[in-house]
């Protein structure tokens, strides 16, 4: 299978490189990934500024743009082949629930789905070492053909792995409701310029049974199908009941 790998941690990330080494044994692997960390870049794309692409060998290209840029450029003609599956990750840190709104990892998979290409976003539930990638890499190697065959239009698959060395069982889940505890830190430079930093503890999740967070917290691999069409018809009907002033 012809597979494109990308991420938001950067092309040198151990999650991406480990997955590349494993999948290269049986698949035609191409890499187009950011030249540095683009975490939380969401679905930004470069509309006014050109991005630099560097061929670093072994069918791999670094990109000065965003993860979504990487997928757009790859699928629009950078690569001399037709990609059959896009895998974004494996990300350092989970992407539960509404994290996927901010996530460059998820955005890369979403961009592929928007271009009618099967896509998976993969994340490991760990922010610091040890990062246990061995089992996630083996799981993806065993199941890429299945994921490709299961794909239907207008969605991508968001996978979160527990950071454990033992075998984990997959569970189909729904996105959890994340609770963000962001805080604003303000400080001035010696020249009087104001700087702001978004800080605070790691987000929490509501512990809904069957959610992605609930599954990974219990040692399961979470598989969440994510729709790319934003319409909520129930809310739409609610607005139809209102008479707006013109």
Q: What is the mean pLDDT of residues 89-110?
A: 96
Token look-up 């994510």 returns: 226
Q: For residue 98, what are its two tokens?
A: 């509404």
Distances (CA, A) of 126 to 109, 148, 154, 246: 20, 27, 29, 52
- With pLDDT > 90 as the criterion, what percentage of the chain qualifies? 85
Burial group, residue 132, by CB count within 10 angstroms (0-12, 13-18, 19+): middle
pLDDT above 90 (res 2) = yes
The 10s digit of each residue's pLDDT in 192-221 is 999 999 998 888 888 899 999 999 999 999
User: What is the C-alpha end-to-end distance of the chain, expressed in Å?
Assistant: 55
Question: Please, what is the average pLDDT of the chain?
Answer: 94
> CATH topology for 2-177+205-240?
Stationary-phase Survival Protein Sure Homolog; Chain: A, (3.40.1210)
Q: What is the mean pLDDT of residues 72-96?
A: 97
239 vs 25: which has the higher pLDDT: 25
The 10s digit of each residue's pLDDT in 106-142 is 999 999 999 999 999 999 999 888 999 999 999 999 9
Residue 81: its pLDDT value, please? Answer: 95
pLDDT above 90 (res 226) = yes
Residue 233: its pLDDT value, please? Answer: 79
């Amino acid at each position: 299978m012809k597979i494109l790998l990308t991420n938001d941690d950067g092309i040198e990330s151990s999650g991406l490189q480990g997955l590349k080494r494993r999948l290269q044994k049986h698949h035609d692997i191409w890499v187009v990934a950011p030249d540095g960390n683009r975490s939380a870049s969401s679905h930004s794309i470069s509309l006014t500024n050109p991005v630099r692409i560097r061929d670093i060998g072994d069918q791999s290209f670094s990109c000065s743009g965003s993860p979504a840029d990487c997928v757009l450029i790859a699928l629009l003609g950078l690569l001399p082949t037709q990609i059959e599956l896009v895998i974004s990750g494996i990300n350092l840190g989970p992407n539960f629930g509404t994290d996927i709104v901010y996530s460059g990892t998820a955005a890369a998979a979403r961009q592929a789905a928007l271009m009618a290409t099967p896509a998976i976003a993969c994340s490991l539930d760990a922010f610091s070492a040890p990062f246990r990638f061995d089992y996630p890499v083996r799981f993806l190697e065993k199941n890429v053909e299945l994921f490709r065959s299961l794909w239907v239009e207008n969605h991508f698959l968001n996978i979160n792995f527990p950071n454990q060395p033992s075998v984990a069982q997959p569970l189909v889940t729904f996105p959890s409701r994340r609770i963000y505890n962001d805080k604003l830190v303000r400080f001035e430079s010696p020249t009087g310029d104001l700087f702001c930093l978004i800080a605070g503890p790691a987000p929490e999740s509501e512990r809904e049974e069957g959610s992605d967070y609930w599954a990974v917290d219990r040692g399961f691999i979470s598989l969440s199908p994510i729709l790319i069409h934003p319409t909520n018809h129930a809310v739409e009907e609610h607005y139809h009941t209102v008479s707006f002033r013109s």
